[in-house]
Amino acid sequence: MVVLGTRPEIVKLAHIIKMLGDDAFVVHTGQHYDPGLSDSFFEQLQLPEPDAFLGIGGETRGRQIGAAVTALDGILADVEPGAVVVQGDTNTVLAASLAANARVVPLVHVEAGLRSNDRRMPEEHNRVVTDHLADLLLAPTEASRANLVAEGIPGDRIIVTGNTVVEAVLGLLPTPAERRELTDRFGVDPGRFVLSTLHRPENVDDPATLATILSELAALPLPVLLPLHPRTVNRATSFGLGDLLDEIQVVEPIGYREFLGLGAESAFLVSDSGGVQEEVSVYKRPVLVVRRSTERPEVIGTFAERVVPGPDISRIAREWAADLDAVHARLSDMPSPYGDGSASQRSVAAIRSLIDA
């Protein structure tokens, strides 16, 4: 039973689901559910419809987790799977882990061992609890494995697989011709615009912080393309930040494949997304990570630089913009720390071995 609930989970579990084939019973909790976006992700990734949908979106963290545990407990009783597979650090992951543990079903954690060491992040608690409940921990890097061993998790429960994001990006990245159509559609010049995303509460829920970030984006020497959910646009407007939004090209959220194409054609990215930090290492663009902490240190100093909201955003961005060709050339031959695109294959082999044991 593969349990997912957000778009990043769909992306990173897609190849595993396809390789498991008819052996995969897929449950979508609906933690983050927009009919257009979620459906397009399943379509673009060529996945069948989920076998079950829970609809827990729009609730507080505690209510989401509680509702998902209750619903998953019933499904586990009916399906009796050989294992439960989860990915990452969402409320869905924690709920599925607790439900599997209560039913004494082996738990597999894809992308295990990430640590920000920032207890202010709900995701940090989700991933730590899940790792300590898991029977099989599929770590993306040796650094992730070291985190797990340091916490006393037995090494024979850990396998370093690489990160499934690599094959997801390689499989979905639009062709150069398609990417040129994308830049034409959005009215930006290839290699000479900034692609940005903002969604973390620490950045978008505080008026002063959001004002600082938008001011820094508006001051960049290149045009900024900012896909932003209408809820965040409304929040920014209510904060009195409409004038700052007018200085940026704000568009509605776009599909994953289109976002990858724009990222690959951008000068660089400014984002608070964890997934973007990984994806840029595949299509070789730098990203400014606007966060207090990150659980992906493998790309810091190469494909990524972390900054807190403030003048360092425009300072580093201007340094990159002053010599973009050199920045891009430096990254073009740099290997991704997340593997060679075989993570899903290794993961499925490990899952089958666990079930057959």
CA pair distance 225, 195, nearest whole angstrom: 5
Continuous H helices in the chain = 7-20, 35-44, 61-79, 91-102, 122-133, 142-150, 165-172, 176-186, 201-204, 207-218, 230-238, 242-246, 256-265, 274-283, 312-322, 324-332, 343-356
Six-digit token pair at 175? 């062709």
Indicate the domain borders of the chain: 2-164+341-356, 171-332
Q: Is 208 exposed, middle or buried (0-12, 13-18, 19+ CB in 10 A)?
A: exposed
Provide the residue count of the chain: 357
Give residue 3's pLDDT. 98
| 2-164+341-356 and 171-332 agree in CATH topology | yes
> Vertex 339, ends 338 and 340: CA angle to 5°?
145
Give residue 34's pLDDT. 66
Question: Catalytic site residues?
Answer: 199
Give residue 43's pLDDT. 84
> Vertex 75, ends 69 and 78: CA angle to 5°?
145
Banded model confidence at residue 10, pLDDT cuts 50, 70, 90: very high
CA pair distance 125, 121, nearest whole angstrom: 7
Helix (H, G, I), strand (E, B) or coil at 87: strand
Six-digit token pair at 87? 């990915």
- Residues near 250 by beta carbon (within 8 Å), at least 6 away in sequence: 226, 227, 228, 233
CA distance readout (Å), 73 to 81, 102, 266: 12, 8, 45
Q: How many CB atoms lie within 10 A of CB 105?
A: 18
Banded model confidence at residue 272, pLDDT cuts 50, 70, 90: very high
Per residue in 13-22, pLDDT (tens digit) is 999 999 999 9
CA distance readout (Å), 206 to 116, 119, 211, 304, 340: 21, 19, 8, 24, 39
* Residue burial 232-265, b: 16+ Cβ < 10 Å; e: rest: bbebbeebebeebbeebbbeebbbbbbbbbbbbb
Give residue 231's pLDDT. 78
Cut 0.95: pTM above it: no
pLDDT at 298 over 80: yes
2-164+341-356 to CATH, choices 3.40.50.2300, 3.30.300.20, 3.40.50.2000, 3.20.20.140: 3.40.50.2000
CA pair distance 28, 171, nearest whole angstrom: 22
Give residue 41's pLDDT. 78
- In the chain the first and final C-alpha atoms are separated, in Å, by 17
Q: Of 165, 169, 178, 219, which is closest to residue 196 (Cα–Cα)?
A: 219
pLDDT at 101 over 60: yes
Structure letter (DSSP) for residue 46: T
Six-digit token pair at 168? 């997801």
Give residue 281's pLDDT. 98
In CATH terms, the fold of domain 171-332 is Rossmann fold (3.40.50)
Give residue 76's pLDDT. 98
CA pair distance 344, 269, nearest whole angstrom: 27
CA distance readout (Å), 152 to 156, 298, 332: 12, 22, 38
CA pair distance 191, 41, nearest whole angstrom: 26
Per residue in 151-171, pLDDT (tens digit) is 999 999 999 999 999 999 999
